[in-house]
Amino acid sequence: MNIGQEILEILKEEITESEYNRYIKQLVFDVKKSTADEVYYYAPNALVVNWIKNRYTEKIAHLFEVKTNNKVNVKITLKNLVDKRKTKKIVEVKHGNSLLNPSHSFSNFMVGGSNQFAYAAVKSVSENAGKVYNPLFIYGGVGLGKTHLMQAAGNVFQNDGKVVIYTTVEQFLNDFTRSLRNNSMERFREKYRHCDVLLIDDIQFLSKKELLQEEFFHTFEALKGEGKQIIFTADKHPKKIAGLEARLQSRFEWGLVADIQPPELETKIAIINKKCEINKVVLSKDIVNYIATVIDSNVREIEGILSKLHAYSQLMNVDIDLEFTKNVLKDQMAEKRENLTMDMITEVVAKDLNIKPSEIRSKGRSKNIVYARRISIYICRELTQNTMPQLAQYFGMKDHTAISHTIKKINDLIKDDEDFKVKIDELTNKITAQT
């Protein structure tokens, strides 16, 4: 037995059998790579890596020190980097093209009070292309099912033999600039104007792109004129998207504007059950309830957790119990927070309020800059581990009293102003959805 395994045997005596079997037993010591100062263990997946890193590295290091009289650095890493690369590729292909995702169907979409209106609108459009609500504009927060719903309609149209174009504003922009550069605007127009249905995702990114808006406007007019169905999504109501031409804004509201709200508990439970069914994961009722209660709104996050649980049960061939679920969630939350930086936060806030991130950190005193700065400070305080002096330094404020003053102000506002509270919640959701 090598020293690395020996240490694990000692550790075995100090922990419960189930913990040993689940985690420690998975570790493989790398004899070749390890030195007197640095020892390497491999784990089969990221979950076990995190688990052991958070709970056992110190212990293992201590045991080494006792045994060898030498202070060692313990490294826990993933066993097989090739596997990791493979899975990444699959994900990229899935998100990289603009084809419709067949699992984004109406039957896979769980309906509850929060999304009933949007669902009914999209469903009705899918049964009466170009005839009922044209355009249909769906808006709502990150990960609430806008793309899913839009593509569900797209799938129905496609199955009816219609030519469907699904694109995001970003892809539309890329296509547009490429066509301008290659002198192939004819072809660009031909493509977008000769479809039966146009689905455009994430309209908020049209903001401030004047040239693109101009082209977009003409595409819209041409399609609408011929009674072709158009569906848009955005993260906010057309009225709230700044830097949008008035004529576009008004056209977005011509048909029907429908919102999606964060799901209530029952809807979350229904969604989790559906995802389990699709992914063939079996979870007990108490686990489903637990996940639904802990995750506040973003459905994408629910999926992340399920796939983690799924990967774990597959790789280790064990059942998922409540205790394990709790730990996975705790790890996920901690990880999320660790990964969040003040840069990321100011970037999201700046984008949302249509100013530059650098302005938030500048000495600018104009009203909207001060507003954005205060919000950023508050959210940084909530979501990161930075101290008041660190915040003061980052935001160019005099000292920590200026920071605590700002935070008090925002807290007061949240108490007095429901709209403001909603705004902060929205931003916080957006930021946590990024990690």
How many chain residues interact with ligand ADP (CB under 6 A)?
16
397 part of the interface to ligand ADP, by CB under 6 A? no
User: Rounded to an integer, what distance in angstroms lies between the CA atom of residue 357 and that of residue 354?
Assistant: 9
Q: Nearer Cβ to Mg ion, position 4 or 140? A: 140
Helix (H, G, I), strand (E, B) or coil at 43: strand
148 part of the interface to ligand ADP, by CB under 6 A? yes
In this structure, are strands 28-29 and 38-43 parallel, antiparallel, or unpaired?
antiparallel
Find out whether 137 and 253 touch, Cβ atoms under 8 Å: yes
Tokens in use for 174?
């890329």
426 part of the interface to ligand ADP, by CB under 6 A? no
26-34, 39-47, 107-115, 359-367 -> range binding ligand ADP (CB under 6 A): 107-115
User: Rounded to an integer, what distance in angstroms lies between the CA atom of residue 27 and that of residue 41?
Assistant: 6
CA 59-64-66 angle, to 5 degrees, is 95
Tokens in use for 8?
């694990």
User: Rounded to an integer, what distance in angstroms lies between the CA atom of residue 232 and that of residue 226?
Assistant: 17
Q: Nearer Cβ to ligand ADP, position 11 or 272? A: 272
192 part of the interface to ligand ADP, by CB under 6 A? no
In the list ligand ADP, Mg ion, none, the entry touching 310 (Cβ below 5 to 8 angstroms by class) is none
Q: Nearer Cβ to ligand ADP, position 44 or 145? A: 145
In the list ligand ADP, Mg ion, none, the entry touching 67 (Cβ below 5 to 8 angstroms by class) is none
Q: Nearer Cβ to ligand ADP, position 103 or 387? A: 103
In this structure, are strands 229-234 and 164-168 parallel, antiparallel, or unpaired?
unpaired
Instruction: Encode 317-329: b = buried (16+ Cβ within 10 Å), e = exposed.
Output: eeebeeebbeebb
In the list ligand ADP, Mg ion, none, the entry touching 115 (Cβ below 5 to 8 angstroms by class) is ligand ADP
In the list Mg ion, ligand ADP, none, the entry touching 408 (Cβ below 5 to 8 angstroms by class) is none
The site string for Mg ion over 128-157 (x = CB under 5 A, - otherwise) reads -------------------x----------
423 part of the interface to ligand ADP, by CB under 6 A? no
Give the one residue of 43, 136, 144, 231 binding ligand ADP; rule: CB under 6 A.
144
User: Rounded to an integer, what distance in angstroms lies between the CA atom of residue 133 and that of residue 33?
Assistant: 64
115 part of the interface to ligand ADP, by CB under 6 A? yes
271 part of the interface to ligand ADP, by CB under 6 A? yes
User: Rounded to an integer, what distance in angstroms lies between the CA atom of residue 37 and that of residue 58?
Assistant: 14
Q: Nearer Cβ to ligand ADP, position 146 or 228? A: 146
In whole angstroms, how close is the CB of 147 to Mg ion at the nearest point?
3
How many chain residues interact with Mg ion (CB under 5 A)?
1
Q: Nearer Cβ to ligand ADP, position 44 or 143? A: 143
193 - beta bridge partners? none
Q: Which residue is nearest to Mg ion (CB)?
A: 147
User: Rounded to an integer, what distance in angstroms lies between the CA atom of residue 158 and that of residue 161?
Assistant: 5
Across the beta sheet with 164-168, the strand order is 164-168, 197-201, 229-234, 136-140, 256-260
Q: What are phi and psi of 210, to 5 degrees?
A: -65, -45
State which of positions 292-351 bind ligand ADP (CB under 6 A).
299-300, 303
45 part of the interface to Mg ion, by CB under 5 A? no
Q: Which residue is nearest to ligand ADP (CB)?
A: 145
In the list ligand ADP, Mg ion, none, the entry touching 144 (Cβ below 5 to 8 angstroms by class) is ligand ADP
Helices within 41-168 (DSSP H only): 46-55, 57-68, 81-96, 116-127, 146-159
Work out the angle between the directed axes of helices 210-225 and 169-181 (0-180°, nearest 10).
Answer: 100
Rule CB under 5 A: which residues touch Mg ion? 147
Rule CB under 6 A: which residues touch ligand ADP? 108-110, 115, 142-148, 271, 274, 299-300, 303
